[in-house]
Amino acid sequence: MQVNYLGMTMFRVFVNVWFAASVVIQVASSIVFWFWLRRRGVRLVYGLAGIPGYLERAYLGWCRSQGRSGTTVIVLRAMSVINVIVAAVVAAMLLGEK
């Protein structure tokens, strides 16, 4: 087991980077998605934008009005949320170890 200068194994470093990256990706994609929806004229409540599912619901409403299918974007956003949850669970399990 190789230990770096911080006393963490490479697996712990990988999990920490994975968790941090998944959170940054989720937040950044939500911001970009919010601006994208606003540019297309979708009325959004700023205070609700951080609630999981709100932007997706607004997007599906916009897709219905345009006669489009929003399945791809919804699946990608759901996979991103699942990635954050799994990374958080694994990171929490590592924090619990001594």
- CB burial readout 22-36, b (16+ within 10 A) else e: beeebeeebeebbee
What digits encode the pLDDT tens for the residues 24-33? 999 999 999 9
Q: Does the global pTM surpass 0.95?
A: no
Q: What share of the chain has pLDDT > 70, as a percent?
A: 91
- Per DSSP, 51 falls in state S
Number of domains in the chain: 1
**How many Å apart are CA 54 and CA 34, to the nearest integer?**
10
In a domain, 77, yes or no: yes
Is residue 80, in this structure, part of any structural domain at all? yes
The domain of 17 spans 10-96
Question: pLDDT value at position 98?
Answer: 60
Does the residue 2 lie in any domain?
A: no
The angle subtended at Cα 83 by Cα 55 and Cα 96, nearest 5°, is: 125
Predicted pLDDT at 96: 78
Predicted pLDDT at 7: 62
Q: Is the pLDDT of residue 1 over 60?
A: no
Selected residue with higher pLDDT from 7 and 78: 78
